[in-house]
Amino acid sequence: MWRNPRVVVAVVITGLLTAATVLTGLITNEASAQQRWPGLLELVRTHPWHTLGVLAVLLVALTVVLAALPEGDRSRGEGTPGQDGAARPAAAVPPAASSDPVAPARTSSGRVSLLDERPDRLDRLSAGLVGRLGRRRTAYPLDLSLAELHRMGLFVPGRLAAYHDRAAGPGEQSVVALVARLRRGESVLLLGEPGSGKSLTLYGVALALLSAGRLPLPLRALDAVALLDTLRGAGLDLAGLPGAVVLVDGLDEASELFGGGPLATALLNLMRHAPVLVTSRTREYEEWIAFETTEISFDEVFVLRGWSVETEFADYLLRLQRHGLITDPDLYRTVVTSQRLTGLVTRPLYARMLTFIGQDAATRITSTSGLYGEYLTRLGHATDFAVRSGHPDWTGDSLALWQTAAWFVHSRGLSADAIPIADLHVTLTRGRGRSPTVRALDQVIDRRTLHGIDIGEFLHYSFYEYLLARHIRDRLLSDLTAGQATALLRRDLTREVRHHLAGQLQELSDERLGDWLSASYRQIRDEPGIDQADRLTVCNLLVYLISRTSPQAQRQLDALLHRERDEFLLSAILWALCHHRSDQALARFFALLQYDAVFRACNRGYVLYYYGDVRTGRPPFLDEPPHQAHERTSTRVLAMFESPTFRIIPAQRRYVDLYTFIDIYLVRHETVDGRALSTLRAAVADLSGQGLASPLVEQLSEMLQAISGQPIPDANPPSFSG
């Protein structure tokens, strides 16, 4: 009650009136030199206790009356500091007592006034969602949110390139270009590699739209259904919201898009009534989103360009120096003089990681995986120190804890973007103090609420990929039984996790590694009681690791090939040997492709699985009638054939890639033309003069000719099969 200013005023006024009355009586008494008090004051003198009681009642009554007086509209003329330091109308700030940014305002009678409060609720909705996005953290500095990075001027806008013309010109400034198109009512798709700055750019667009008087509604792709439900529950409809712009972050996180479910429907509804900016990782969009969201179209598709060392990276270092976040004057010189580091800082995430580890550590970086290792190891040490400052008895290892968290997600088949926090905490706090463990986890895992459930996500998805690979590496190098190794590797790994795992094993520089992996292959291959699909998955991964990490890979793979009879594993080993320029492996590969229909179907099936056209089932993957569609495989493989780096791949491996791809069309009685045909002809022509046997190149040319003319009457003509 005493925090109410009207109560304070009432008490002060009543006290002053009482004091004035007493003083008047005393002065009159003194001036008249009488024991009697003049007038009614004589009653006060002769009945003091009764008078005191009457005054007390009057004091209480006056206090109640003053407190009940209307306070007036305090929102007018007042403001609250916005995220950019400027004052914003109080109505645009979501009420602190409610976590719902669109909770409807209520009248004095308690009834919801949908008509009168509609503008206020729209402002609160927009400000609440922008604030929620701004509270998200990024990779570095970890103790700053997106909003703080923008407010401190640490956000360096990237540049855009048209998706289908990425080499043209320097590109437009990202925020300016995107805002201009959204204000024209266009819908835009923004693609970028992991760590390219998509979320930071989205937040910058939201702030610019607010400044332009628009109503940005930023949300995670997974939250689209919940947003529409909230709007309907509050009596709002996007069709009647002039100025609304929907900003959808992380379309690649939304696996629910498959099959045109509620999420796809919600996104279509959002795009139908308002301009939309949607972000997604490039590879995920190209490999599955574009094929699962055929009804969702965009006016323009852009890709975030990488940073240049001389422009964006140099600008970023200057901004950090102004805020005292970096003091090393030699880091820029170190990066500029290193071709390896120059390539790394084109991705903003990697640039920020480099500024954290510093110049000395940067000189030791030899790979992307090495950068993650240096960064997360240092971050782990810093986290250990911070946790022990508040919990001196804690003996945990933050880096090991994060690795266990990544394994928790992978081993249960969970999404790294929607981790059930309660289950994670229960699992990881066993035998550890809960409070310090949670504090250590919070350093790399952000928490939020989805459908009333607390979920978490790694600050950056690539952190999850690296930490999972590191957990598998550490366990793989321990003394595991065949059963334990199978349990560790039975779930297939994504390409990114495979690359991290191979990079981490290469850093060991252990010549015994290949022999150890080969022994594990033989042990699991011969162990009875292991599920056959698990056996094939694990042995296939071990072949990949031997091929990528062992200096003696060809000798070790030849030894495994000598004993192998399974078509799926034969294909895996021969493919790996062709990657190591083995003519003998190519000759055997060619013979099997010619005369073994099961081997040939297995070879095509794994390629369709690897590039995402086969999304269910377990190995072996057989491409048999009725044949699977192959849009994803065609898109990705043709792009690989067009890349200048394809010519660097050994000719033996390129031959197998081309044979398998052409065979996918051949067995389906399909033809190719236009740009795809030109790409294939150039790739086949490049094999001439590479030392390959003439019959092999001639056979490939005949297969290409067969799919480039009229529809193929026979998918297995005599010259192509035995």
What is the three-class DSSP state of 476? helix
Question: 3-state SS string over 425-444?
Answer: HHHHCCCCCHHHHHHHHHCC
More confident of the two residues 265 and 706: 706
pLDDT-derived band at 497, boundaries 50, 70, 90: very high
More confident of the two residues 165 and 396: 396
Tokens representing residue 527 in the block: 């162990």
pLDDT digits (tens, 9 = 90+) for 469-486: 999 999 999 889 999 999
pLDDT digits (tens, 9 = 90+) for 248-298: 898 887 655 555 567 777 777 777 778 999 999 888 887 766 666 666 778
Q: Phi-psi bin for 448: left (phi > 0), alpha (psi -120 to 50), beta?
A: beta
CA-CA distances (angstroms) from residue 253 to 26, 143, 289, 418? 82, 24, 10, 9
Q: How many angstroms separate the CA atoms of 627 and 634, rounded?
A: 14
pLDDT digits (tens, 9 = 90+) for 664-697: 999 999 999 999 999 999 999 999 889 999 999 9
- What was the pLDDT predicted at 240? 64
| Torsion angle of C-alpha atoms 87, 89, 91, 92, degrees rounded to 10 | -60
pLDDT-derived band at 330, boundaries 50, 70, 90: confident
More confident of the two residues 128 and 326: 128
Q: How many angstroms separate the CA atoms of 69 and 78, rounded?
A: 21
Residues of the chain with CATH 3.40.50.300: 121-306
- What was the pLDDT predicted at 422? 93
Residue 112 DSSP label:
B
Domain 121-306 sits in CATH 3.30.70.20: no
Q: How many angstroms separate the CA atoms of 383 and 405, rounded?
A: 16
- What was the pLDDT predicted at 254? 67
Q: Is the dihedral of CA 7, 8, 13, 14 positive or negative?
A: positive
Tokens representing residue 446 in the block: 């952000």
Instruction: Tell me the average pLDDT across 172-200.
Output: 92
Q: Do β-strands 419-420 and 453-458 pair in parallel, antiparallel, or remain unpaired?
A: antiparallel
In this predicted structure, the answer to whether residue 427 has a pLDDT above a threshold of 50 is yes
pLDDT-derived band at 229, boundaries 50, 70, 90: confident
Q: How many angstroms separate the CA atoms of 354 and 374, rounded?
A: 9
Q: What radius of gyration, in Å, describes the C-alpha atoms of the chain? A: 35
In what order do the strands lie in the sheet containing 244-249? 172-173, 159-162, 300-304, 188-192, 276-281, 244-249, 215-220
Q: If we measure between CA atoms, which residue out of 157, 134, 130, 158 comes closest to residue 144?
A: 134
Largest CA distance in the chain: 139
> How much is the pTM?
0.78
- What was the pLDDT predicted at 192? 92
- What was the pLDDT predicted at 93? 29
Q: If we measure between CA atoms, which residue out of 443, 440, 404 comes closest to residue 424?
A: 404
Q: Do β-strands 172-173 and 188-192 pair in parallel, antiparallel, or remain unpaired?
A: unpaired
- Exposed, middle or buried: residue 92 (CB in 10 Å: 0-12, 13-18, 19+)? buried
- φ, ψ of residue 629 to 5 degrees: the values are -65, 155
- What was the pLDDT predicted at 167? 64
What is the three-class DSSP state of 459? coil
- What was the pLDDT predicted at 123? 82
* Average pLDDT of every residue of the chain: 81
More confident of the two residues 27 and 406: 406
Half-sphere exposure of 23 (CA within 13 A, CB side): 6
- What was the pLDDT predicted at 244? 87
Residues 314 and 335: beta-carbon distance below 8 Å: no
Query: Percent of the chain having pLDDT more than 90?
Result: 54
Least confident of 102-116, 324-338, 403-417, 594-608: 102-116
DSSP 129-171: HHHHHHT-B-SSSTTSBHHHHHHTT-----EEEETTBTTSSS-
Least confident of 14-18, 72-76, 127-131, 567-571: 72-76
Q: Which residue has the tokens 């040939």?
A: 600
Q: Is the dihedral of CA 166, 172, 176, 180 positive or negative?
A: negative
CB atoms inside a 10 Å sphere around CB 50: 11
- What was the pLDDT predicted at 578? 97
Q: If we measure between CA atoms, which residue out of 510, 507, 508, 517 comes closest to residue 540?
A: 517
- What was the pLDDT predicted at 431? 76
Instruction: Tell me the average pLDDT across 108-115.
Output: 35
Query: Percent of the chain having pLDDT more than 70?
Result: 77
Q: If we measure between CA atoms, which residue out of 652, 648, 707 comes closest to residue 674?
A: 707
Residues 256 and 263: beta-carbon distance below 8 Å: yes
Residues 411 and 486: beta-carbon distance below 8 Å: no
- What was the pLDDT predicted at 130? 94
- Exposed, middle or buried: residue 373 (CB in 10 Å: 0-12, 13-18, 19+)? buried
pLDDT-derived band at 712, boundaries 50, 70, 90: very low
